[in-house]
A and B are shown apart, each in its own frame.
Chain A
Amino acid sequence: GAVVSQHPSWVICKSGTSVKIECRSLDFQATTMFWYRQFPKQSLMLMATSNEGSKATYEQGVEKDKFLINHASLTLSTLTVTSAHPEDSSFYICSARENEGAFFGQGTRLTVV
């Protein structure tokens, strides 16, 4: 299957700082990538759809000014959590789709202290 690489796999940051998470499609081009958040023992929650060369589409209730998404190339999308707070601590996962379905990055465990 297709390979999606996400970096970093974990990060600890102080409240008020910003954190950038990268998502790369390694062996295919992805005009669209997806960002999910998952709290412990809960299901995936789609946050936003990242579109190459245009603005991201955010799901209801997700603050676009807090979760900045940039999709500058066909293989890279970034999610920046701005002014992070402890309640932003979660598992963030990116995904890109190919013919055989959606493929996920390894996920990023964010802890805000």
Chain B
Amino acid sequence: QKEVEQNSGPLSVPEGAIASLNCTYSDRGSQSFFWYRQYSGKSPELIMSIYSNGDKEDGRFTAQLNKASQYVSLLIRDSQPSDSATYLCAVRYNNNDMRFGAGTRLTVKP
């Protein structure tokens, strides 16, 4: 069973702080990893993808991947109230199957 696990939250951080979102996956054959943001009542939108171990930065977002630990995270620096949303971790496997975590609800308080 290919699993993608996320803490459902809610995760609450003050404005300006760093929000850290975590995700673990079960299949070592996983190739590609994605973070999506979903605002309430809207569909998910892709914000980051990462394929190799290490960090990948895009603006205030940093994705971190550790394949040995089967762990992928998303850091949001200088968190803003507009970052309040549910963040979905997704993993694509060798057979192109893609699985989503249940999502972590983030609230950034002004």
Contacts and interface: CB of A to CB of B under 8 A. Distances in A.
Interface stretch (A67-75, A77-85, A97-105): A97-105
A102 B46 CA distance: 8
Most buried by B among A6, A43, A100, A109: A43
Interface in B30-50: 32, 34, 36, 41-46, 49
Interface SS of B by simple majority: strand
Interface size class of A (residues with CB under 8 A): 10 to 19
A1 interface: yes
Interface SS of A by simple majority: strand
Interface residues of B, number: 19
A107 B34 contact: no
A101 B101 contact: no
B44 A104 contact: yes
Contact of A43 (B45, B49, B98, B100): B100
B67 interface: no
17 contacts: A6-B43, A43-B88, A43-B102, A44-B88, A44-B100, A93-B43, A97-B96, A100-B49, A101-B49, A102-B34, A102-B46, A102-B98, A104-B43, A104-B45, A105-B43, A106-B43, A107-B43
